[in-house]
């Protein structure tokens, strides 16, 4: 059996180091069934490719980085959380022959529910321009986390804010406006994506409503949806991902001549 390639993209204002410290999206358990490729999105973490145009941070633009991440032109399984989930969906729409499967985690508000979140990001961009990152971080501290994190992993906020403070203040408004002007692919485009898809959502997060995950599951013929209502269920996600990848990546190595 050969290992397939699994490309994973983090969420908005996150990075690989943030995910590693948080420990929720640890796909190392899947390394026996897939080659796991992770990367920092433009403007995030250790990525030095800081653009100053809003359009560079639209989800439909971020797909360029995901398609380059494997380092080859062959097929791969695309996955991500929030912004990364949107990136993976756009990869499947733009390059369907390269996508073997999808892992869509905490998909963000979309379509009719998107405008409210877009206004939040636009207001945040203006705040950074007026008061810098310290002002933005202070405002974030007053905003609630997803219910599961607030109730069962309160240290998640401290971890996130530590990494958020390290982001480039000059680039942040463009990142936020790129998110504000983004949405998921249309329902018709998503319906036309026919690959095995694992959808993982959690309850109690208005920015990532379960309704988006449910709609994706309805639209995608080969999808499987799991909704977590507590931290214990979230911590089972890595094993669900491993099982999903194992099912996709089962094919025999070609015999040597």
Report the pLDDT value the prediction gives residue 74, as an integer from 0 to 100.
87
Q: Does any domain span residue 253?
A: no
| Cα distances (Å, whole numbers) of residue 84 to 139, 152, 160 | 24, 24, 16
Who has greater pLDDT, 100 or 252? 100
Q: Does any domain span residue 158?
A: yes
Dump pLDDT digits (tens) for 33-66.
Answer: 999 999 999 988 877 666 778 899 999 999 999 9
Q: Is 250's pLDDT higher than 80?
A: no
Tell me what percent of the residues of the chain surpass a pLDDT of 90. Answer: 84
Q: Does any domain span residue 40?
A: yes
Rounded distance, CA 44 to CA 29, Å? 25
Q: Based on the structure, what is the number of domains in the chain?
A: 1
Report the pLDDT value the prediction gives residue 71, as an integer from 0 to 100.
87
Q: Is 223's pLDDT higher than 90?
A: yes
Q: Which domain holds residue 70?
A: 4-248
Q: Does any domain span residue 79?
A: yes
Q: Does any domain span residue 257?
A: no
Per-residue pLDDT, averaged over 13-23, amounts to 94
Q: What is the full DSSP assignment across 98-160?
A: GEEEEEEESPPP-GGGHHHHHHHHHHHHHHHHHHHHHHHHHHHHTSPPPHHHHHH-THHHHHH
Q: Does any domain span residue 256?
A: no
> Structure pTM?
0.93
Per-residue pLDDT, averaged over 176-184, amounts to 96
Q: Does any domain span residue 254?
A: no
CATH number, residue 147: 3.40.50.1820
Confidence of residue 255 (pLDDT cuts 50, 70, 90): very low
Q: Does any domain span residue 21?
A: yes
Helix segments in 165-236, DSSP class H: 172-180, 187-191, 210-219, 231-234
**What sign does the dihedral 98-104-105-111 (CA atoms) show?**
positive
């Amino acid at each position: 059996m050969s290992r397939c390639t699994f490309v994973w993209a983090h969420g908005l204002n996150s990075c690989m180091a943030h995910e590693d410290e948080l420990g929720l999206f640890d796909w190392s358990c899947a390394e026996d069934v897939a080659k796991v490729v992770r990367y920092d999105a433009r403007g995030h973490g250790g990525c030095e490719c800081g653009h100053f145009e809003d359009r560079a941070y639209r989800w439909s633009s971020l797909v360029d980085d995901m398609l380059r991440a494997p380092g080859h032109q062959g097929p791969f399984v695309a996955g991500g959380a929030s912004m990364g989930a949107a990136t993976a969906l756009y990869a499947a729409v733009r390059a369907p022959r390269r996508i073997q499967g999808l892992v869509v985690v905490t998909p963000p508000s979309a379509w009719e529910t998107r405008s409210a979140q877009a206004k939040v990001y636009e207001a945040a961009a203006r705040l950074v321009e007026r008061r810098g990152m310290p002002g933005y971080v202070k405002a974030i501290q007053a905003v609630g986390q997803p219910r599961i994190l607030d109730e069962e992993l309160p240290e998640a906020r401290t971890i996130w804010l530590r990494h958020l403070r390290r982001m480039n203040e000059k680039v942040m408004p463009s990142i936020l406006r790129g998110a504000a002007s983004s949405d998921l692919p249309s329902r018709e485009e998503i319906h036309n994506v026919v690959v095995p898809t694992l959808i993982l959502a959690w309850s109690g997060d208005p920015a990532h409503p379960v309704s988006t995950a449910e709609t994706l599951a309805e639209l995608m013929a080969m999808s499987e949806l799991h909704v977590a209502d507590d931290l214990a269920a979230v911590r089972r996600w890595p094993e669900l991902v491993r099982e999903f990848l194992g099912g996709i990546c089962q094919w025999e190595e070609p015999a040597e001549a």
